[in-house]
Amino acid sequence: MGAALLPDAAFGIFPRFFNVPRHPLICRTTSATSVRKRNFFFGDKRISKSSLIVLSHLNDSDDKLTDVVVDQDDVIGIEDELVVTKKALSEAQHRQEIIEKERDQLLEELARSEAKKQEYITTILHDKEVAISELEAAKTLFQKKLEDSVEEKFNLESKLVLAKQDAVDLAVQVEKLAEVAFQQATSHILEDAQLRISSAETTAAEAAHLIENQIKDAIEGTISSIVEKSNHAIERALVVAEKAEELAKKSTETFIDGTSPFTEIAAVEAENIKLQGIIIDIESELMMARSQADKLKLELENTRQQLQAFEQRANDAEKALLDFQESSRENILQREEEMKSMLEKVKKDVADRTKAISKAFKADLKNIKATVEAAKEVVHCKDYAYLRRCEALQRSLKSSEDAVKMWRQRAEMAESLLLKERLQDEGDADSIYVVNGGRIDLLTDVDSQKWKLLSDGPRREIPQWMARRINAVSPKFPPKKIDVAEALTSKFRSLELPTVDEVWSIAREKPKEGDALIEHVYERETIEKKRKALERALHRKTIQWQRAPEQTKLEPGTGTGREIVFQGFNWESWRRRWYLELAAKTADLSNCGVTAVWLPPPTESVAPQGYMPSDLYNLNSSYGSVEELKYCIEEMHSQDLLALGDVVLNHRCAQKQSPNGVWNIFGGKLAWGPEAIVCDDPNFQGRGNPSSGDIFHAAPNVDHSQDFVRKDIKEWLNWLRNDIGFDGWRLDFVRGFSGTYVKEYIEASTPVFAIGEYWDSLGYEHGSLCYNQDAHRQRIINWINATGGTSSAFDMTTKGILHSALHNEYWRLIDPQGKPTGVMGWWASRAVTFLENHDTGSTQGHWPFPRDKLMQGYAYILTHPGTPTIFYDHFYDFGIHDVLTELIDARRRAGIHCRSSIKIYHANNEGYVAQVGDALVMKLGQFDWNPSKENQLEGSWQKFVDKGPDYQVWLRQ
């Protein structure tokens, strides 16, 4: 805002008494005469005279009254009075000149203040630009140093890779056992170095950003305060000037409109008095302006001091940054030396371990061979003994057949003899016989050897299993008779003995419990089982030696790193005997490449789906009984599948009401009370501590800060692991409690794999999905960090982005750093990707995936790092079983795991192209692309899956 100049009329009202401004009615008249009756007031006197005043205008450039003609006698008195008036006017003129000088001084001071303000602003802006340029230079230097450190890290990694290759070459000579030990010894060191480097980068970036914000805030605040105060002072000066201008205009108008100078003299005197007051006001305003200017100077001085302080801070920060870089360089060098020494030590240890392992392995192989030879010898001996026994049994059966023929003849002879004697001695009670179960027990007075032979015969005792078989094949044997009259009147006289074929069928019958050959059969079956178990163990050990190092690294957050999870239920599965149905599909799942099956919640529940558990130890649920659950898990284990249990730890439904009618008393083995419920759950009057997460309002929220609660949960999880057979966990609604408790539960129950469900809303703007979803995936990362990385989490971010990205918005699949935009892009090993589950899909449909983009979605998650999950409905009900199996096969052939590298080549409206690992390239979308069109892709590529405009997959030959 520039300085405003006041008009001359404001301070030059009456230069001289007879200098009259031009007026249209006066200044343009050459001469005029008039006789008027006027009343003059001068001081306290009133003059009333008639006079003739002649005004003559001689020159337009000189506005003076040259001729005054008065026809009266009082001209001399009037002239005296005019002299006095001239004196007064001269004094007023002098005062006006003083006012003009003060005005000019004020304007000059304002102009100087404005110039100084502009100078200060220019200086501050210049200092700001200098500071920003210095910060940019420091930032560039830091980036350069960071790139150097990253390059050093890559060099170190390359050295480690070379060392790893050396170790692998050495391990190949001793059947590749050293590779596993080397990887286990070096992986933690690399991870620690990467974490420390990332931490240093984050700390430096935060420090630079904080310094830049402080300088920016201080400069902007100082400039704004100076501008506001300067504008305020200028506005006040302008207001005073406008007031003075208005008073001057009024005075001018009064002088022009008046008809006598004597009248105007009094008005001028009054106006002079007013002007004196205005002058006083102006002087006070001037003093205030000066004080404001002094304050501005002080503030500018303070601002300069603050700028100097900020510069000092920036210098200190730069110095600290340089010190930090120097210390980082020294630490890196020291760590490099340590790692070199450690690598030497590792190599030495690996060599020693290799020798020891080789020696132990050779001894084990020798023992295993001896065991196998001994087992074969035992099996051969047992088989020989079994054959000898079978031959003896055959000879015994043949002799039995001959005996049967002989006894048939004897029986016929006995029957004919008995019939003949009965006819001869009918009515004689001396011979009484009873037919009993195929044998003839004769009760006669004469102890005849003949009848005794017929009665007993040269037989050995019949085994029970043979007796059961004989009874089964000869149901028509006559019943035992104990009454002589019944025996005499019975019409059944023939003896129906088993035929030869029936006797041989007894020999071919498999022995039952208690048979003579049962021990031999059991021994043979036991040996056969041990032999198969030994073969499987040797096969698994061979497979382990051939696997990549990532596959042998087992931890609950990643499993083996190559897991493919199958959700084995939907929202309506509880309506059938689900465990039995799922057990029948385990062989198919294993053949298709699935490694882990996520089972429904196993506990008794208020809701049939299982997510409102009550008695945790009661596993008879809507999905089946506890025996059926164990059978299902056994079938999975027989197919080398992991069984993941869906455990609900956030809430639990009570079985009893408190005296005031609130359901907060738990039953069963874990009989908790209100102290096990968080106190900020508004519906259940808990007496525990506040919740460490969000409240689930449908059931009492468990207070995990209580020691007895954590102890009971850990015992329950170990019971599920050891007694029921679960291998890992799917953790429901983990937003409800802190991840630190999850870490404690996982460390206590040691699952093979654990997944947390952290379902949070994505960012939307005006109804559309925002491109930047860093805040959403950061919340999931924070929960995983809280668990210490012991658990993975479902990648809700990737699912939400895929909903929009697959509708020709493939640019959503890459972030500004060139990485995937979900949790997969920041922590792929802990990201469990999926498209749908029992909540988002099935009959609930809370967040269903676009049906027409389903295969594109599976092509994305099954070919990318992380751990992919397949939904039951898609696999068995949507008709894409074989296509998903083909994608799983492509993932297996390319060796993709949860930590595989990814490089994105294209991500725009037309499509998406990425290379995953070293052996797979995939494309989404309709644009024309193949590996031969990409200059950065080397090698020979063969198309493995071709689904036209939807997706295509190439594998390196």
Read off the amino acid at residue 375.
A
How big is the chain, counted in residues?
Answer: 957
Q: Residue 902's beta-bridge partner residues? A: 916
What confidence score (pLDDT) does residue 335 get? 74
* Residue 558 placed within a domain: no
Count: domains in the chain: 2
Q: Which helix (H) or strand (E) holds 434?
A: strand 431-436
User: Which one-letter DSSP state was computed for residue 690?
Assistant: P
The reply to whether 33 falls in a domain is: no
Residue 863 lies in a domain: yes
Range of the domain at 921: 563-954
Q: How far apart are CA 796 and CA 870, in angstroms?
A: 15
Question: Is residue 929 assigned to a domain?
Answer: yes
User: Whole-angstrom Cα distance, residue 620 to residue 630?
Assistant: 11
CA–CA gap between residue 205 and residue 600 (Å, rounded): 45
Q: Which residues pair with 555 in a beta bridge?
A: 559
Q: How far apart are CA 293 and CA 287, in angstroms?
A: 10
Q: Mind telling me the catalytic residues?
A: 732, 757
Non-local (6+) Cβ contacts of 734 within 8 A are: 650, 693, 742, 756, 757, 758, 783, 793
| 320, part of any domain | no
- Of 253, 284, 310, the one marking the end of a domain is 253
Q: In CATH, what number is assigned to the domain containing residue 808?
A: 3.20.20.80
In a domain, 311, yes or no: no
- Which amino acid, one-letter code, is at 618? N
Task: Give the C-alpha separation, 341 to 102, whole Å.
Answer: 85
Continuous segment of H or E residues that includes residue 754 = strand 754-756
Write out the DSSP string of 469-529: HHHHH-TTSPPP---HHHHHH-------PPPHHHHHHHHHSPP-TT-TTHHHHHHHHHHHH
Are residues 506 and 466 in contact, defined by beta-carbon separation less than 8 angstroms?
Answer: yes
Q: List CB contacts of 171: < 8 A, sequence separation 6 or more.
A: 177, 178, 179, 182, 350, 354
| Domain annotation covers residue 492 | no
User: How remote is the C-alpha of 413 from its chain's centroid?
Assistant: 94
The domain boundary, picked from 253, 287, 308, lies at: 253
As given in the structure block, the two tokens for residue 406 are 């002989």
Instruction: Give alpha helix (H) positions in 676-807.
Output: 707-719, 739-749, 774-786, 796-805
How far apart CA 400 and CA 458 sit, in angstroms, is 11
Domain termination site, one of 201, 228, 253: 253
Tokens standing for 771?
């491109």
- Per the CB < 8 A criterion, the answer to whether 183 and 553 are in contact is yes
The pTM is what?
Answer: 0.48
State the Cα–Cα distance between residues 799 and 847, nearest whole angstrom: 10
d(CA 619, CA 569): 17
Q: What pLDDT is attached to residue 289?
A: 72
Task: Give the whole-angstrom CA distance, residue 492 versus residue 503.
Answer: 23
Phi-psi region of 763 (alpha: psi -120 to 50; beta: other; left: phi over 0): beta
| 594: three-class secondary structure by DSSP | coil
H/E element, 204 = helix 178-257
Q: Chunk the chain into consecutive blocks of 10 residues (it has 957) and report each block's average pLDDT, rounded to whole numbers.
A: 41 39 38 39 40 40 41 60 82 86 84 81 79 75 76 71 63 55 58 62 62 63 62 65 65 53 62 73 74 75 75 76 78 79 78 77 75 74 71 72 74 69 50 40 43 50 63 51 53 51 53 52 63 59 46 76 96 95 95 96 95 96 96 94 96 93 92 94 91 93 96 96 95 96 96 95 92 95 96 97 95 95 96 96 93 96 97 95 95 94 94 95 92 84 90 93
CA 937, 942, 948, 951 torsion-angle sign:
negative
Q: What is the pLDDT of residue 636?
A: 95
Which tokens belong to 885? 């199996």
Q: Is residue 97 part of a domain?
A: yes
